Amino acid sequence: MDHQDWKIFSQIRAKDDDSLPAVLTRRQVIGLLRHIRLRRYRIPVKLIYCCGLRVSECLALTIHDIDSKGGKLWIRKSKNNKDRMIPISQTMVSDLRRYWKVHKHPLLLFPTAARGACPSEKVAERMHEAIRPMPVSSLQKIIAAARKELNIPVCTPHTLRHSFATHLVEAGASLHTLQALLGHADIDTTMVYLHVTHRSEEDSRALVETLCQELPR
For the domain that residue 67 is a member of, what is the CATH number? 1.10.443.10
Q: Is the model's pLDDT at 16 over the cut of 60? A: no
Residue 11 within any structural domain of the chain = no
Q: Is residue 217 part of a domain?
A: no
What digits encode the pLDDT tens for the residues 126-175?
999 999 999 999 999 999 999 999 999 999 999 999 889 888 887 877 77
Q: Look up residue 131 and give its DSSP letter.
A: S
Looking at per-residue confidence, does 8 or 67 come out higher? Answer: 67
More confident residue, 106 or 3: 106
**What is the rounded distance in angstroms from the CA atom of residue 126 to the CA atom of residue 19?**
43
Rounded Cα gap, residues 89 and 211, in angstroms = 9
Residue 116: pLDDT band by 50, 70, 90 thresholds? Answer: low
pLDDT of residue 50: 94
Q: Is residue 191 classed as helix, strand or coil in its secondary structure?
A: helix
Would residue 197 count as lying in a domain?
yes
Q: Is residue 2 situated within a structural domain?
A: no
Residues classed as catalytic: 54, 79, 158, 161, 184, 193
Phi, psi of 73, deg, nearest 5? -130, 125
How do beta strands 66-67 and 72-75 pair? Answer: antiparallel
For 3, which DSSP code?
G
Instruction: Tell me which of 13 and 105 has the higher pLDDT.
Output: 105
- Cβ neighbors of 51 (< 8 A, separation 6 or more) are 58, 73, 86, 87, 88, 92, 164, 181, 208
Buried residues in 128-164 as b, exposed as e (16+ CB within 10 A): eebeebbeeebbeebbeebbeeeebeebebbbbbbbb
Q: Are 36 and 45 in contact (CB under 8 A)?
A: yes
What pLDDT sits at residue 22?
A: 83
The CA distances from residue 125 to 21, 47, 109, in Å, are 39, 23, 14
The predicted-structure confidence for 57-110, as pLDDT tens digits, reads as follows: 999 999 999 999 999 999 988 777 788 899 999 999 999 999 999 999 999 999
pLDDT of 101 reads 95
Residue 106: domain span: 21-211
In a domain, 57, yes or no: yes
Distance CA 182, CA 192 (A): 13
| Beta bridge partners of residue 62, listed in sequence order | 108
Hey, how many other C-beta atoms are within 10 angstroms of the C-beta on 8?
A: 7
Number of domains into which the chain is organized: 1
